[in-house]
Structure 1
Amino acid sequence: MEDSLELTLQMVIVVSAGISAQVIAEYLKVPSIVFLLTFGILLGQDGFGFLHPQQLGVGLEVIVSLSVAVILFEGGLNLNLRDLGKVSGSLRNLVTLGTLITLIGGGMAAHWLGEFPWSIAFLFAALVVVTGPTVIGPLLKQVKVDRRVATILEGEGVLIDPVGAILSFVVLDTILNSGADPQMIVIGLILRLGVGAVIGGVGGWLLGLFLKRADFISEDLKNLVVLAGMWGLFGLGQTIQSESGLMVTVAAGIVVRASSLPEERLLRRFKGQLTVLGVSVLFVLLSADLSIASIFALGWGSVFTVLTLMFIVRPISVSLCTWNSGLNWRQKIFLAWIGPRGIVSASVASLFAILLTQKGINGGDSIKALVFLTIMMTVFLQGLTARWVAQWLQLNPEANATGAVIIGCNPLSRLIARLFQERGESVVLIDTDPEACQKAQEENLRVFHSSGLDIDVLEEAGLESMGTFLAMTKNGEVNFVLAQRAAEEFAPPRVFAVFPRDPQTNGTNNKIKVNQAFVPELSIKTWNQYIIDGQVKLGQTALKEGEFAFQKAHLQALIRAGELVPLLLERDAHVQVAGASETWQACDRIIYLLHDPRPKLLKRLSGGTSASLLAVEILSEVEEIPIAIPFAEMAVAETN
């Protein structure tokens, strides 16, 4: 009874410490592994001594196996086959040739610099060929880089994990069975990967088919069905061919994602939460069992081994694997810099330390210590500097991406499209109304007659390279859904939608930020009618340092009165859609649309409302835009 109570308390401490580390890391915007390792070490044998993972016995191996299966399944579930296809050459090379380069380079470094025997050196190298999706994923959420680079890093992190884990077990088998034939070693590796891919592919397809047809199952229960099915496939793979289960989970995740399930968003969120829990528990448990003395006992040779892995082996691997990829030197440098190791390396190394000790082979604890040293150094040196490196290399898509994809071909959206086009930016309109599309074509605008939910159309429109997505149909709820889908699939730097209220503050907890365009409660129908009737003026004003407060107050008074809509915001030579929550700054240039019903102009000048007086006052200070474009419904007054 006392033993069970002690184990229960230990698991409570592990979960509490792990989730606390995640919360702190998210608040400080740093990789969570930094605090997970710190908390684990502080609570472990070399810290306060609250945690004793070895007391779990075989249970530790079970927790590690099932948690890693969930982590890799979630990684496969987040992979987009369309994006992977665009970088397939580089990705294939990194998973195959890159693995070989890391294995050879890491093995030589561990032997010559770390003074490990050849067998143990190559076992270490096999353990660290992986880059770790549990570190890469959160890192890329905090450090925004262009889509190709992010896809390569995410794809490598997920696909190389089962390859590295299986390779590690093959190398371990070779050590334990010194007479193993090299040919059988290669066959064993290929067989495990092949069996895992087949079982995962077929099982994932059947699972997706079942979920599509099982309408009687609630959405919450479907999440648990997927969890049970994934673990079932993992167990089947392990039974048929040992150590093939990791490949099974990755393949199953990719196929389930490709099945386009209606509940895909909820499923990915649920699996993401399980992954956070699994990573938190595993890192705290495994680092609690780590001996700090064993890390210091490695000496400087092991530090130089890791540095060689980071600054020589990784750059060589990236440069060779991306030779004809079309990536520029900035992208290649970032890929070479980012290679943090994660939970798969830590968990497999911990299991190997136990197995080698049981077999009476020296080096198990040293291997584990060196792997954890690699994790610490790569996470601290690469993970914490990734944002600075991305900024130095100018890989921030928000700063570089231009152009816009606009959903809706109404008069207001066509006007905004012309404004983007006049500034030399590419713009594409998408609408299901053939008549509206025809009007856009007559104005020499590029247009697609299709739904904004069609991913293939968005891809053909070039959204992946555009800086802005704007949904402005007449239905605000549809606009939000369209923007959310575009953000999930393409992650453009700026996502805007016209919607009547903010769903993100009304019970929807979503990491994907959809910005409200223009002003709150904008009536597109009303302003479209103003444009059709010619009752608008298009103007722009530069906010000046000395007059900033006065100008801002005047403009906002007109906005509140429903007389003015800010359309675009020009800042630092970049133009973007004016967001409803955007904070204006001095030196910004506001491009706006002003309601100007000409039959009522004399009444305004002779003493209308305060809002109308403000309109006249502002118009005397600003520059109207003389747009020389064939916009038939638009009436633009001459500048006085």
Structure 2
Amino acid sequence: MEASFELTLQMVIAVAAGIGAQVVAEYLKVPSIVFLLLFGILLGADGIGLLHPHSLGSGLEVIVALATAVILFEGGFNLELRELGKVSGSLRNLVTIGTAITLIGAGMAAHWLSEFPWTIAFLYASLVVVTGPTVISPLLKLVKVDRQVATLLEGEGVLIDPVGAILAVVILDTILNGETDPIRAISGLIIRLGIGGGIGAIGGLLFGLMFKRANFLSDELKNLVVLAGVWGLFTLAQLVRSESGLMATVVAGIVLRASSVPEERLLRRFKGQLTILGVSVLFILLSADLSLASILALGWGSLFTVLTLMFVIRPLNVGICTWNSDLNWRQKLFLCWIAPRGIVSASVASLFSIFLTERGINGGDSIKALVFLTIILTVVCQGLTAGWVASWLQITSKEATGAVIVGCNPLSVLIARLFQERGESVVIIDTDPVAAQQAEAENIRVIVRSALDKGVLEEAELDSVGTFLAMTNNGEVNFVLAQRAAEEFNPPRVLAVFPRTPEANNATGKAKVQQAFIADLPLKTWNEYLKDGRVKLGTTTLTEREFSFQQAHLQALMRTEAIVPLFLEREDQFLIAPATEEWQPSDRIIYILHDPRPNLLKRLSGDCNARRLNVEKLSKVEEVPIPPL
């Protein structure tokens, strides 16, 4: 009974510490692995001694294996084949040629600098060829880099993980069995990859059929079926050929994503939550079992080994693998800097340390210590500086311009024209061909299809624009579209016109959806005003001296629905005005004002026969005094 309680206590501590580290990291906007490592070490034997992972016995290996399977499946499921196609050459090179470069370079560095025997040196090298999606994915959520770089980093992290893990197993077999035939080693690697890939592909296809055909299952049960299936595929692949299970889970995720299942968003959210839990528990347990004395005992040579891996081998790797790509030097330099190691390196190194110790082979603890030193240095140095480096290189997606607007109506056309006057590209999506023709007459690109179709958003190139705005007459549809855009394409700015409800209040913070313009905008009313020419386009700049008065005056007019702010100009940024934005002195507000006087349209357009608002060049829009209440 006491032993059972001790195991329960250990798991509860690990889960609580892991989630606590995630919360702190989320609050401070830094990579979670930094606090996971810190909390694990503090709770372990070298800290307060509250957590003892070795007490779990063989259960630790089971936890590591099953959690890693879910993590890699989720990574494969998040890969977008269409995006991978844009960088397929570079990605293929990084996973193949890059693996060989890192293996040889890190092996030589570990032998000559850390003075490891050749076999142990190359075993270490095989453990650090992986870059780790569990670190890169959260990092890219914090640091918004352009889509091509993000896709390449995510693809490398996911695809190289099973390759590196299987490569490490091949080298470990060579050490344990004394087998030095390179042909047998290479064939073993290929066979494991092939078996795992085949089983994973079949499993992914079956998952896709289940989602499309098994309508009698609820969405929640389908998610659990996939979880059970992932573990089943992992175990089956392991039974057929040891260490092929990791490849099976990655391929299953990629194939299922390519099947375009209708419940994809719910499944991704469920698997994402499991991955966060798995990563949190694993890092806490593995870092708690780490001996700081073993890291200090490595000496300066091991520190130089890691620095060589970061500043010599990685740049050489990226330079060779992206030589003929269309990446510019800024993108390549960022790729050279970002290569943090993650949970696969840590978990496999911990298992190998146990295997080597059990067989009486020296070097197990040293390998584990050097791998964790690599994780600590790469995560801390690269993870904490990634945002600054991306900004310095000017490759952040926050610099993205242009807009995709769902809903073709007079107000959306006006907004599109204002974007175009700034030289930004705009695409409007709507199912109404008549409204589309009217917008096309204004030289605005329109896609006449439903925005609920993911392919339409891809055709509009939402992944490369700065703003997504949903403003159809149906507020609920707008909110759902904005949520999907935020989760699947993650543009820098996602806004929608929707009624303010408690549900929306809770969801907007999580999905990064902002309410556009003003709360509860009467869109139909303002569209009628525009059609009738009862709208005046105005702009005003908030000054430091009169800021409080101007802000209060504008907000009062907004509450009476006399004014709707459309755009906010701040520090050379041209942004759709969010309803909850806190204005600042020097902000320039571009708004529309309801003018009840008839025939205003003629005065604005200068054409007595005009039936639409002809907006002046934005650069020529003059300051318009704010009307009195």
Identify the TM-score tier after normalising by the shorter chain. over 0.9
Residues 220-244 of structure 1: per-residue CA shift (max 9 Å, x gap) = 2222111111100111100111110
Task: Find the counterpart in structure 2 of residue 397 from structure 1.
Answer: 397
What residue identity is the alignment partner of 1:268? R
> Where do residues 400-479 of structure 1 align in structure 2 (5 Å cutoff)?
400-479=399-478
- Cα pair 2:538 2:591 within 8 Å, conserved: yes
Task: Find the counterpart in structure 1 of residue 293 from structure 2.
Answer: 293
Given the alignment of the two structures, is residue 586 of structure 1 paired with residue 585 of structure 2, yes or no? yes
| 1:282–1:487 distance in 2 versus 1, CA, 3 Å | same
The worse-fitting range, judged by mean Cα deviation, of 336-345 and 419-428 is 419-428
> Where do residues 14-29 of structure 1 align in structure 2 (5 Å cutoff)?
14-29=14-29
| 1:503–1:268 distance in 2 versus 1, CA, 3 Å | farther
Please state whether the residue corresponding to 2:519 is helix, strand or coil.
Answer: coil
| 1:635–1:78 distance in 2 versus 1, CA, 3 Å | closer
| 1:390–1:504 distance in 2 versus 1, CA, 3 Å | farther
| 1:317–1:597 distance in 2 versus 1, CA, 3 Å | same
d(CA) in 2 for partners of 1:146, 1:482: 22
What residue identity is the alignment partner of 2:204? G
- Cα pair 2:417 2:615 within 8 Å, conserved: no
Please state whether the residue corresponding to 2:404 is helix, strand or coil.
Answer: strand
Please state whether the residue corresponding to 2:574 is helix, strand or coil.
Answer: strand
- Cα pair 2:471 2:478 within 8 Å, conserved: yes
d(CA) in 1 for partners of 2:536, 2:508: 39
d(CA) in 2 for partners of 1:334, 1:385: 11
Q: CA deviation at 1:40?
A: 1.5
- Cα pair 1:330 1:393 within 8 Å, conserved: yes
d(CA) in 2 for partners of 1:146, 1:331: 9
d(CA) in 2 for partners of 1:393, 1:35: 27
- Cα pair 1:44 1:289 within 8 Å, conserved: yes
Task: Find the counterpart in structure 1 of residue 555 from structure 2.
Answer: 556
- Cα pair 2:605 2:613 within 8 Å, conserved: no
What residue identity is the alignment partner of 1:390? A
Residues 407-440 of structure 1: per-residue CA shift (max 9 Å, x gap) = 1111111111111111211111111001000111
Residues 47-95 of structure 1: per-residue CA shift (max 9 Å, x gap) = 2222222222211111111111011111111111111111111111111
Q: CA deviation at 1:334?
A: 0.9
Q: CA deviation at 1:508?
A: 3.6
Q: CA deviation at 1:511?
A: 3.0
- Cα pair 1:536 1:636 within 8 Å, conserved: no
Please state whether the residue corresponding to 1:385 is helix, strand or coil.
Answer: helix
Q: CA deviation at 1:149?
A: 0.9
d(CA) in 2 for partners of 1:305, 1:132: 19
Given the alignment of the two structures, is residue 209 of structure 1 paired with residue 201 of structure 2, yes or no? no
- TM-score, normalisation: structure 2: 0.95
Q: CA deviation at 1:507?
A: 4.9
d(CA) in 2 for partners of 1:578, 1:284: 43
Instruction: State the superposition RMSD in angstroms.
Output: 2.1
Q: Could you tell me the percent identity over the aligned residues? A: 72
Given the alignment of the two structures, is residue 326 of structure 1 paired with residue 305 of structure 2, yes or no? no
- Cα pair 1:443 1:630 within 8 Å, conserved: no
| 1:264–1:157 distance in 2 versus 1, CA, 3 Å | same
Note the residue ranges of structure 2 that are not aligned, 5 or more in a row: 625-629
d(CA) in 2 for partners of 1:243, 1:6: 31
Task: Find the counterpart in structure 2 of residue 606 from structure 1.
Answer: none
Q: CA deviation at 1:214?
A: 1.4
- Cα pair 1:432 1:451 within 8 Å, conserved: yes
> Where do residues 338-349 of structure 1 align in structure 2 (5 Å cutoff)?
338-349=338-349
- Cα pair 1:415 1:631 within 8 Å, conserved: no
Task: Find the counterpart in structure 2 of residue 174 from structure 1.
Answer: 174
Task: Find the counterpart in structure 2 of residue 607 from structure 1.
Answer: none
d(CA) in 1 for partners of 2:147, 2:397: 8
Residues 159-187 of structure 1: per-residue CA shift (max 9 Å, x gap) = 11000000000111111222342111111
Task: Find the counterpart in structure 1 of residue 596 from structure 2.
Answer: 597
Task: Find the counterpart in structure 1 of residue 308 from structure 2.
Answer: 308
Please state whether the residue corresponding to 1:429 is helix, strand or coil.
Answer: strand
What residue identity is the alignment partner of 1:320? I
Q: Which runs of 4+ in 1 moved over 6 A?
A: 624-631, 635-640
Please state whether the residue corresponding to 2:466 is helix, strand or coil.
Answer: strand
Q: CA deviation at 1:260?
A: 2.0
The worse-fitting range, judged by mean Cα deviation, of 26-35 and 309-318 is 26-35
Q: CA deviation at 1:488?
A: 2.4
What residue identity is the alignment partner of 1:80? E
d(CA) in 1 for partners of 2:533, 2:506: 40
- Cα pair 2:107 2:121 within 8 Å, conserved: yes
Please state whether the residue corresponding to 2:402 is helix, strand or coil.
Answer: strand
Task: Find the counterpart in structure 1 of residue 612 from structure 2.
Answer: 633
Task: Find the counterpart in structure 1 of residue 53 from structure 2.
Answer: 53
d(CA) in 1 for partners of 2:598, 2:414: 23
- Cα pair 2:428 2:447 within 8 Å, conserved: yes
| 1:146–1:406 distance in 2 versus 1, CA, 3 Å | same
d(CA) in 1 for partners of 2:122, 2:491: 42
What residue identity is the alignment partner of 2:279? V
d(CA) in 2 for partners of 1:382, 1:19: 23
d(CA) in 2 for partners of 1:511, 1:173: 46
Please state whether the residue corresponding to 1:470 is helix, strand or coil.
Answer: strand
Residues 283-342 of structure 1: per-residue CA shift (max 9 Å, x gap) = 111111111111111000000000000011011111111112211111111111111111
Q: CA deviation at 1:379?
A: 0.8
d(CA) in 1 for partners of 2:609, 2:70: 57
Residues 91-113 of structure 1: per-residue CA shift (max 9 Å, x gap) = 11111111111001100100010
> Where do residues 614-633 of structure 1 align in structure 2 (5 Å cutoff)?
632-633=611-612
Task: Find the counterpart in structure 2 of residue 610 from structure 1.
Answer: none
Task: Find the counterpart in structure 2 of residue 352 from structure 1.
Answer: 352
Task: Find the counterpart in structure 2 of residue 613 from structure 1.
Answer: none
| 1:629–1:582 distance in 2 versus 1, CA, 3 Å | farther
Task: Find the counterpart in structure 2 of residue 157 from structure 1.
Answer: 157
d(CA) in 1 for partners of 2:14, 2:427: 51
- TM-score, normalisation: structure 1: 0.93
- Cα pair 2:473 2:524 within 8 Å, conserved: yes
What residue identity is the alignment partner of 1:182? P
| 1:565–1:131 distance in 2 versus 1, CA, 3 Å | same
